[in-house]
Structure 1
Amino acid sequence: MYTKIQKWGNSHAVRLPKSLLESVEMKENSEVEIKVQDGNLIIIPIKKHKTLEERIAEYQGEYKCKEWDVGKTKGNEVL
């Protein structure tokens, strides 16, 4: 994909197509880190930690709680 750097007030900007942002699970107001590496501009999405409310809202009811084997005891574990 090719685009142009354009003036935006006293700064400059690059427009990113919506489809490109969606492909990396980003949207308007998503936070990013911008850095220069080997002469290239790198834009890195900042993954924020989801709140409990956000996690519950995404829950689809597919997880079934169950016990799991953690192996044999090795010390003074209480059973």
Structure 2
Amino acid sequence: MYTTIQKWGNSQGIRLPKAILEMVNLNENDTVKLKVEDGKVIIVPTKKHVSLKERIAEYEGEYQPQEWDTGHSVGKEV
């Protein structure tokens, strides 16, 4: 599928066809990340915001807290 880069205010932009957006489950006003790899522009969908209520509903009780080793002390933080 081809499209054209067009002037959009002081920038340039492309229009993404509806079929492409549906294939990657993107909608108007969704946030995406732009990357350049090997001379190619890559558009990556960002994760949707998950509310605390949704996170708690998915929790299965498997988390076991552990100490986090940050290395040796280097100053007067002890």
| TM-score, length of structure 1 as denominator length | 0.61
Tell me the equivalent position of 2:3.
3
Question: Could you list the runs of 5+ residues in structure 2 that have no partner in the other structure?
Answer: 58-78
The 5-angstrom pairing of residues 18-33 of structure 1 reads 18-33=18-33
**Structure 2 Cα separation of the partners of residues 2 and 19 of structure 1:** 13
Count of matched residue pairs: 54
The residue type equivalent to 2:23 in the other structure is S
Question: What do you get for the CA RMSD once the two structures are aligned?
Answer: 1.6
Aligned-pair identity (%): 57
Q: Structure 2 counterpart of 1:34, which letter?
A: L
Q: Secondary structure at the match of 2:19?
A: helix
Runs of 4+ in structure 1 over 4 Å off? none
TM-score, L = length of structure 2: 0.62
